[in-house]
């Protein structure tokens, strides 16, 4: 998602989600990351229940004990992946244990 136009269109969605809280439903720890994510690996990808909907997001500032069903998390904004040298920086939604 490194198109400046797509990033711009997505801002309202991020602003709307920021700060919302939910609970972890299921998870994995990615050990072999896709391109652009190697600096963050290994990291958990979790499904989060937000009362009215669910999202899939990366879990940050985590430890193994946080990977349990029902663990409370909140939505934060971080860099999604490593930006290229000259390209726009992709900020997006992740979740962090409360």
Q: Which is nearer to other proteins, 23 or 43 (CB)?
A: 43
The tokens of 98 are what? Answer: 């409360």
Tell me the C-alpha distance between 71 and 5, whole Å.
35
Under the criterion CB under 8 A, does residue 76 sit at the interface with other proteins?
A: yes
Beta carbon of residue 8, minimum distance to other proteins (angstroms, whole number): 9
Residues in contact with other proteins, total (CB under 8 A)? 47
- Do residues 45 and 60 touch, judged by C-beta distance below 8 A? no
With CB under 8 A as the contact rule, the residue among 2, 20, 23, 55 that binds other proteins is 55
The tokens of 77 are what? Answer: 């904004």
Under the criterion CB under 8 A, does residue 25 sit at the interface with other proteins?
A: yes
């Amino acid at each position: 998602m490194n198109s400046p136009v797509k990033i711009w269109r997505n801002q309202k969605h991020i602003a709307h989600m920021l700060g919302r809280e939910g609970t972890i439903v299921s998870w994995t720890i990615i050990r072999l990351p896709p391109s652009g994510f190697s600096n963050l690996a290994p990291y958990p990808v979790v499904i989060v229940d937000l009362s009215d909907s669910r999202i899939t997001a990366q879990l940050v500032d985590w430890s193994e004990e946080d990977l349990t069903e029902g663990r409370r998390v909140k939505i934060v904004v971080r860099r999604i992946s490593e930006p290229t040298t000259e390209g726009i920086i992709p900020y997006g939604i992740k979740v962090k244990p409360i």
